[in-house]
């Protein structure tokens, strides 16, 4: 059970020294209880208290890293049930299954597709994060051979090795030691052997049981064998069961601090029907799966799931923003037009995309509006004539322009007069209301 603020307070030094940045030990204790502070902020806490509080203040869903280096992905560490309460911390991992029954060429082709799956969306790199190699053949030698192809064709890509055969597990996992793989396939009958292999190779152990009772018993057993890092599978495969079991697991971890289920969840979504599979992927993303295993890489499916994942895991309290500056789009010259907009990511990418489509080299002044879109920023007093004038003046952009002209978004046409007043010598032109009208607008200017 999580400790209350008062229980935590009893374990603190009670000197109210403020070194933790809080006015009193009680205030700090309350923040710790709400998981809004970490124990290391108090330098004077005793070792005994550290031991008790360290356990109690650990994230209810254990943080696990899959892979190493720049392709490593973090999972778990979640602290809330609902995104509007705070935010979801670590986006779920997308993995694509490769069966060891495929030919070397087919394995290499899919591994290569995973490597090349990255896309850029509103300034973030999104990709299929991992390969789930499954021992569909049941043969240890085949599994090892397939693992060698994956290691060669997708170096550095995190892997999930799926087998219930300890011999196959041992042969394959050795190829990825140091790359923090997941070794999935521990169950009630092979737990000891699999735990030893995971420990020896510093792998996270994927634990499977049919149902939550068996699963929590098994994770306790695995923990007693010396394995702390686990991902868990309750056996849910239908949408209804995935929602139900994942919700119960998350609720037990967050609300009850029930450690046997406080691990990232792995969900297997592979289906013959791609649309069905994509819908199950949606369920996993929305309802607490930390790893979603799919059967194939199809661009339409990736794009839909990437977008959903990005939306679910964006902090609702912090709009996505781009840096305030003047961006050149194309080879901007002294004659190039200058647009201005706000720094909400989506606004920036849509406007810059339409300017690019127009094939007219331009400049785009992106003003810090705390990530708000044009109309919202204007209504909130963050995209005003004074602020625009200050930004343009301080940028010094006029030195690079033959004609001092700025094109403002059509939705804030009302600002044109006051910007003119604040920016003497500048011509203020009202641009289109919608970004998709920019190419026609630029064409009409050059006609």
List interacting residues with ligand SF4 (CB under 6 A): 12-13, 15-20, 22, 25, 28, 42, 44
**Which residue is listed with tokens 């930004």?**
391
Q: Which of 386, 396, 335 is nearest to 365 (CA)?
A: 396
The contacts of residue 349 (CB under 8 Å, 6+ apart) are 122, 123
CB of residue 79 vs ligand SF4: minimum separation in angstroms? 21
As a whole number of Å, the end-to-end CA separation of the chain is: 72
CB of residue 28 vs ligand SF4: minimum separation in angstroms? 4
Our CB check for ligand SF4 shows the closer of 30 and 326 to be 30
Q: What dihedral angle (degrees, nearest 10) is formed by the CA atoms of 232, 238, 244, 246?
A: 30
Our CB check for ligand SF4 shows the closer of 10 and 299 to be 10
Torsional sign, CA 150, 156, 157, 160: positive
CB of residue 4 vs ligand SF4: minimum separation in angstroms? 16
Provide the 8-state DSSP code for 155.
T
Our CB check for ligand SF4 shows the closer of 17 and 318 to be 17
* Percent of residues in the chain assigned helix, strand, coil, to nearest 5: 45, 15, 40
Q: Which of 157, 154, 151 is nearest to 174 (CA)?
A: 151
CB of residue 382 vs ligand SF4: minimum separation in angstroms? 36
Token output for 189: 């009958």
HSE of 193 in the Cβ direction (CA atoms, 13 Å)? Answer: 13
Our CB check for ligand SF4 shows the closer of 46 and 403 to be 46
Our CB check for ligand SF4 shows the closer of 25 and 150 to be 25
CB of residue 16 vs ligand SF4: minimum separation in angstroms? 5
Our CB check for ligand SF4 shows the closer of 25 and 252 to be 25
CB of residue 63 vs ligand SF4: minimum separation in angstroms? 24
């Amino acid at each position: 059970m999580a400790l209350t603020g008062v229980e935590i307070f009893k374990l603190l030094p009670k000197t109210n020294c403020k070194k933790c940045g809080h006015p009193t030990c009680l205030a700090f204790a309350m923040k710790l209880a709400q998981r809004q502070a970490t124990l290391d902020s108090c330098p004077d806490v005793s070792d005994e208290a550290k031991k008790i509080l360290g356990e109690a203040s650990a994230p209810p869903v254990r943080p696990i890293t899959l892979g190493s280096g720049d392709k490593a992905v973090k999972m778990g560490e979640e602290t809330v049930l609902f995104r509007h309460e705070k935010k979801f911390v670590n986006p779920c991992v997308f993995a694509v299954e490769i069966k060891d029954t495929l030919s070397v060429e087919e394995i290499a082709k899919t591994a290569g597709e995973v490597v090349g799956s990255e896309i850029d969306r509103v300034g973030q790199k999104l990709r299929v994060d991992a390969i789930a190699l499954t021992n569909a053949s049941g043969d240890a030698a085949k599994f090892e051979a397939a693992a060698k192809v994956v290691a060669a064709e997708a170096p550095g890509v995190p892997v999930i090795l799926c087998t219930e055969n300890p011999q196959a597990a041992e042969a394959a996992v050795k190829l990825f030691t140091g790359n923090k793989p997941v070794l999935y396939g521990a169950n009630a009958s092979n737990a000891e052997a699999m735990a030893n292999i995971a420990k020896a190779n510093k792998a996270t152990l994927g634990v499977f049981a049919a149902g939550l009772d068996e699963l929590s018993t098994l994770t306790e057993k695995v923990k007693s064998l010396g394995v702390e890092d686990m991902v868990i599978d309750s056996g849910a495969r239908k949408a209804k069961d995935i929602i139900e079991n994942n919700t119960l697991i998350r609720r037990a971890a967050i609300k009850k601090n029930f450690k046997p289920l406080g691990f990232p969840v792995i969900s297997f979504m592979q289906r013959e029907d791609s649309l069905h599979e994509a819908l199950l992927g949606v369920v996993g993303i929305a309802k607490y799966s930390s790893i979603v295993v799919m059967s194939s890489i199809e661009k339409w499916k990736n794009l839909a799931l990437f977008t959903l994942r990005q939306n679910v895991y964006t902090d609702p309290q912090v709009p996505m923003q781009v840096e305030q500056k003047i961006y050149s789009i194309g080879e901007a010259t002294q004659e190039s037009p200058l647009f201005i907009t706000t720094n909400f990511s989506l606004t920036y990418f849509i406007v810059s995309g339409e300017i690019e489509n127009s094939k007219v080299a331009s400049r785009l002044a992106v003003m810090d509006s705390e990530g708000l879109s044009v109309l919202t920023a204007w209504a909130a007093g963050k995209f005003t004539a004074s602020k625009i004038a200050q930004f343009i003046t301080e940028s010094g952009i006029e030195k690079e322009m033959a004609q001092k002209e700025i094109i403002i978004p059509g939705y804030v046409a009302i600002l044109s007069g006051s910007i003119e007043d604040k920016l003497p010598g500048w011509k203020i032109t009202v641009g289109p209301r919608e970004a998709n009208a920019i190419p026609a607008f630029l064409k009409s200017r050059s006609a």
